[in-house]
Amino acid sequence: MATEVKIPAMGESISSGILAAWHVKNGDYVQKDQVLYELETDKITSEGTAEVGGVITIQVEADEEVDVGQIIASIDESAVDTPAEKIANMPEADYAVVEAVDSIVTTDASVEAKADPVDTLSPAARKAAEETGVDTVNISGSGKDGRVMKSDIIDASKNSSSEETATSPILSPNPAKFVASVKPSPLQGGREIRKKMSPLRRKIAERLVAATQEAAMLTTFNEVDMSAVIKLRKENQDRFVERHGLKLGFMSFFTKAVTHALQAIPEVNARIEGNEVVTQQFYDIGVAVGTEKGLMVPVLRDCDQKGFAEIEGDIISYAKAARDGKIQMSDLEGGVFTISNGGIYGSMLSTPIINYPQPAILGLHNITERAVVINGEIVARPMMYLALSYDHRLIDGKEAVTFLVKVKEAIEDPARLLFGI
C-alpha cells in the first residue's frame, strides 16, 4: 500500500510554491512525522512531514514549482525498514545478500509495473554510483524489472574509464544493456550563476514596485541622541535579565516610541482603501527581520498594552521563527506601521520603502559618536539618524515631521513613555 505525499493547503492566498529541498533521498525508509521537504511560498517557508512510515519514492525534484494538492512523492508502507544509509554502511560481503534479494522475481513483471513505480536503482547500486560518479540515466539494469544493480554500476565504471570520448555510449560486456559515461565535471569559475527567484523574493519585488507606483512616497529625516537610552539600559540590564530572562534591546524602546507617536498623530495610523481613509485604533507594529531567504516583517500585536519585556520576547520569538523558516502567515498580517533597523548591518542613512498598504515606515541606522553642540559646547554623543518614509497622499509634511519629532523626544527622554507625554 502506498500513501501519496501532497502539497497541503496553506491559506486562500497561496496556490503554489517552490519545492526548495528534500531532506530525504529517493528510496530512503522514512519514519512517521519525519521531515521530508522544505517548501517556499511568497509568504512563508514551511516543512512537510511524513504521514506514515515506509520507503519513499520521490516524484518531483528540488527547485521545481509545485501546486497545492500536487502529488510529489509516495510512501510504500509495506516496505521493510532497510534504509539506504544502513545498506551503504554494510560490509562488502553483505552487499551480495542485498543484491540477491533485489534480484528475486516473485511476481510477473508486467503486473508489478502497473502497480506503484519501482526505484530503478538498488540501494547498493545507488551507493556505488555516488562513489564512481557514473551517470545512471541510460543504464539498462540486469535485476528484476530492469533494476540497476551494483554490478551494473561497476561494469559501467570500468567501461567508461577505458573510452577516449566522454560523451559516446559504451557497449558493456553484457550485450543486453548500454551504459552512459561519467558526467563531465561542471565548469569551474564561470562568470555568471543563473538561479530562479524564490517565491518570497518575487513577492518582495512585487510589493516594493507596487509601493513605489501606488503611493506618493516622501522621506523626512531627523537625528536622535541615544545617550539616555544607553544609560538606562546599562543601569537596568542585569536586573532586567534576572527578572525576565532576556536582554533589554533598543528595538523595544523604538516600538514603544512609535506606538506613542501613533497615538499622538492618528493621521499616521491610517490607510487608504479606494476613496476612503481608514483610521486604525489598534497598534500592531511590524518589525523587519532579515533572513537567508529574504526580508520578513512579523507583527507585534497590541504594543500599546505590552511592556518592554513582552515586546522583547515577541521580537526574539518571531525573529527565530523567521530565520528557522517556521513563521506562520498569521504572524505577518495586519500591521499598521513598520520599523526597519538597517543599523545592525552598518547602514548610516537610507530611505526605506513603505510596506504597502501601510502608510509609513521608520528606518533606524547605526549609532556613531559624533560632535554635537549642547549648551554652547561641542561634545561627543552617540547619535543615530532616523528616516520616516510615508505616503504623501495620506500624510502631510506637518504630521510626518511632528511624528518623527515625537519619536525623537521619547528616545531622548524615555520617561515620556512612562507618562504618555
Where residue 62 sits, what CATH number does that domain have? 2.40.50.100
Same domain for 226 and 111, yes or no, is no
Same domain for 121 and 210, yes or no, is no
Q: What whole-number percentage of the chain has pLDDT above 90?
A: 45
Q: Is residue 349 part of a domain?
A: yes
More confident of the two residues 259 and 145: 259
Same domain for 210 and 125, yes or no, is no
Count of C-beta atoms within a 10 Å radius of residue 137: 9
Q: Is residue 405 part of a domain?
A: yes
Pairing label, strands 45-49, 54-58: unpaired
Determine the pLDDT at residue 43. 65
Q: Is the dihedral of CA 203, 262, 216, 401 positive or negative?
A: negative
Q: Greatest CA span in the chain, whole angstroms?
A: 97
Q: Is residue 233 part of a domain?
A: yes
Pairing label, strands 65-67, 16-22: antiparallel
Which of 23, 244, 304, 392 is the catalytic position? 392
Angle at CA 243, nearest 5°, toward 239 and 249? 65
Asked if residues 238 and 418 have their Cβ atoms less than 8 Å apart, the reply is no
Same domain for 329 and 223, yes or no, is yes
**Residue 94 annotated in active site:** no
In this predicted structure, the answer to whether residue 321 has a pLDDT above a threshold of 80 is yes
Angle at CA 238, nearest 5°, toward 237 and 241? 85
In this predicted structure, the answer to whether residue 125 has a pLDDT above a threshold of 80 is no
Backbone conformation region of residue 334, classed left if phi is above 0, alpha if psi is from -120 to 50, else beta: left
Same domain for 384 and 294, yes or no, is yes
CATH code of the domain in which 414 resides: 3.30.559.10
How would residue 242 be classed by pLDDT, with cut points 50, 70 and 90? very high
Among residues 104, 133, 162, which one ends one of the domains? Answer: 133
Average the pLDDT over each of 59-73, 90-104, 199-213 and give the range with the smallest value.
90-104
Same domain for 117 and 223, yes or no, is no
Determine the pLDDT at residue 251. 94
Determine the pLDDT at residue 316. 93
Angle at CA 364, nearest 5°, toward 238 and 366? 70
Same domain for 35 and 128, yes or no, is yes
**Residue 392 annotated in active site:** yes
Q: Is residue 294 part of a domain?
A: yes
Q: Is residue 325 part of a domain?
A: yes
Q: Considering its fold, how many domains does the chain have in total?
A: 2
Instruction: Give the whole-angstrom CA distance, residue 208 versus residue 351.
Output: 13
Q: Of 368, 314, 362, whose CA–CA distance to 340 is shortest?
A: 362
Q: Is residue 357 part of a domain?
A: yes
In this predicted structure, the answer to whether residue 384 has a pLDDT above a threshold of 90 is yes
Among residues 108, 133, 158, which one ends one of the domains? Answer: 133
- Which structural domain range is residue 324 located in? 203-419
Same domain for 234 and 372, yes or no, is yes
Q: Is residue 35 part of a domain?
A: yes
Q: Would you say the pTM of this structure is higher than 0.75? A: no
Which of 63, 145, 396, 413 is the catalytic position? 396
Same domain for 71 and 208, yes or no, is no
Separation of CA 127 from chain center? 31
Most confidently predicted of 63-72, 110-119, 285-294, 345-354: 345-354
The mean pLDDT value of the chain amounts to 81
Same domain for 238 and 381, yes or no, is yes
Same domain for 101 and 215, yes or no, is no
Same domain for 394 and 249, yes or no, is yes
In this predicted structure, the answer to whether residue 163 has a pLDDT above a threshold of 60 is no
Q: Is residue 171 part of a domain?
A: no
Among residues 76, 104, 133, which one ends one of the domains? Answer: 133
